[in-house]
Each structure stands twice: as structure tokens, then as C-alpha cells.
Amino acid sequence: YSSRDHGNLSRLRSSSLEVREREIREKGSEILREQLDAAKKELKLKDKECERLSQVRNQLEQELEELTASLFEEAHKMVHEANVKQAGAEKQLKEAQGKIDVLQAEVTALKTLVLTSTPSSPNRQLHPQLQSSGTRGAYKHVGGHIRNKSASGAFPSSIGKPEPSSVSIQPAAKEDREMDSVLYAEFLMWKENPSLERSSAFLSRIYREDIGPCLSFNRSELSQLVQSAVENNSLTIEPVAMSALPMVKASAIECGGPKKCALSGMSRLCRHRIKLGDKGSYYYISPSSRARITAVCNFFTYIRYIQQGLVRHDAEQMFWEVMRLRREMTVAKLGFYLTDQC
């Protein structure tokens, strides 16, 4: 009887242990499920935070891109307006200098007339009341000086009432323009897929009519290197300190010098020099050569900005800006340039 009781007791103990183990496993599973749910909730919160930060980053990138494009457009507009104002100021300065020269000549001649007039022999140009009506305007011999009406017509006919100056400033003519349909069609076709390849009709024409002639110098090999550097955006132009060049080394003579343009081979005062890519050689260039290179660089800079999507103007405004840059290349090729920019 005791051995049977012992067996029953053992079975009861083992069953109670199994029950406890089952309860422990269930509690452990419940705890793990709760921890898993908490981890899932935390992961969802982090995902939402990451999504929010990604949206903020995209918005900042878009605003930065728009700000860059706006700054470029504003800078380009300011440069264009400054060039227009500078050209107008230079024209007014030349006209004013011409007027000053005429006035100085009038003052000098008037002083001469005053010095040749004495009480005993008055100068009849200064005293028209001494001339008879039949002799006014004819040649007069006064004090050894011969003057006629054409020479004295710009001077005052009387001391109290000077005549206006013979120099008049003509108003500047207003520039007008008319779009060429063929050029505009070529530009629109290029703008659909902008590229710097010459295969398009748009760039092929500009290379043929503007870029090629503008960068065609006497030294053809160096001209080709310059054009390649401009196309690759690896050309550097820097001013030369003239006082720092008392002597010229032999290596510099091969690349021109402070008084010889490396591109044209002509003797000119070179205030700038160029460097092609990573090459160590510098080439001295004249103001005219610099103006031609700069005009082509300006054109490439603008079409690169169009290609990168930084220009927000409409197609017609872009087209007229391209035409203006083409005109700058043509003008530079013909030898015109602004001296204070070169």
C-alpha cells in the first residue's frame, strides 16, 4: 500500500510540474508578445519620423535649387544692365569730351583775338560795330592774322550774347529686333534635349558662324587648344601684374610675352594670360584676344545653365539672350572691345 501511494504521489508531482511549466511558458510567451508589440509600435514611430525628415530634406533641396536659379538670373540681369549702363556712360563721356575739345578751341581762339586787339588797332572780330555792312564776312587782315567767316563763325558775334555751341548731342537710336523663324526653330528643337554636342543644327550653325571665326587666330594649333579648353570649361584667364615682369624668360617667349600676344603673334601690350587645363604653361594674350575668348566663354556658360535647368525664362527670352551673346562674339571677332574690361 505504501508503494502505491508513493507512485501516486510521484504522478501528482510530475503533473503539477508540467502545469507550472506550461503556465511559465504561457506567461513568457505573453511577455514576449507584449515586447514585440512595443517594438513594432516604436519601429512605426521611427518610420514616421524618418519619412518626415525625408520630406523636410526634399523641401530644403528644392528651395536651395530655386534659390540658386533665382540668384543666377538676378546676377545675369545685373551684369547685363551694368554693361548697358557702362556703354551709355562711355558714349556720353566721348560726346562730352568732344564738346569740351570744341569749347577749349573756342576759348583759345578767343584769347588770341583779345591779345591782338589794342586801342590803336582794335580787332574788328571783337568789335563788329567797326565793320561796314558791305565788308562783314569778308577776309580781314588785323595785326598780322588772317581770319574769315568760316573760322570765326563759332565765336560770339558780340561780347554780351554768345552763340550756342556748334556741337549737338544726337539722341541715341532705339534698337529694334525681329525674330528669325529658322534660328528660333533650331533653338526650340535643341532646347527639347539640350546638349553641348555639335550634332544639333542649333550648335552646328553657331560653331560655323560664331565660335569658329571668333577663336580663329594666327596660331592655329594654339587656337584649337583654346577652343577645346573652353568647351571643357578648363580655361583660366588671369590678369598680369605688369610691374612684376621686368624680364622675360626663354620659356615665356614661346608662349608670347607681356608685349607679344601668343595667339595673334602680334606685338601688343598683354595685360592677361591664359592657362589651358592642368598644363603648366601660361600664354599671354592681347586685349582683343581676351575679348574674343571671353565672348565665347560667356556663350558656353549660358547654354550650360540652360542644359542644367537653372534658367527659368521662357523660350523666347532665352533665344534673345543667345542672340545677344552671338552678337558679342561677332563684335569681338571684328576687333571691338571695352578697354576697361580688357
What confidence tens digit (pLDDT) does each residue in 63-107 have?
Answer: 999 999 989 989 988 998 999 999 889 889 988 888 887 787 777
pLDDT of residue 227: 95
Look up the pTM and report it.
0.49
% residues pLDDT > 90 (the chain): 47
Selected residue with higher pLDDT from 150 and 260: 260
CA-nearest of 316, 208, 227 to 276 is 227
Tens of pLDDT, residues 203-251? 999 999 999 999 999 999 999 999 999 999 999 999 987 654 444 443 4
How many angstroms separate the first and last alpha carbons of the chain?
125
Q: What is the pLDDT of residue 122?
A: 55
On average, the pLDDT of the chain sits at: 79
The pLDDT assigned to 339 comes to 76
- Cα angle at 205 between 204 and 208, to 5 degrees? 85
Q: What angle do CA 275, 233, 87 make, to 5 degrees?
A: 85
Report the C-alpha gap between 201 and 187 in whole angstroms: 8
Query: In sequence order, what are the residues at sequence separation of 6 or more whose Cβ sits closer than 8 angstroms to the Cβ of residue 195?
Result: 307
Instruction: Go through 129-147 and write b for each residue having 16 or more CB atoms within 10 A of its CB, e for each that does not.
Output: eeeeeeeeeeebebeeeeb
| Per-residue pLDDT tens digits for 22-77 | 888 888 888 998 899 999 999 999 999 999 999 999 999 999 999 999 899 899 88
Rg (CA), the chain: 43
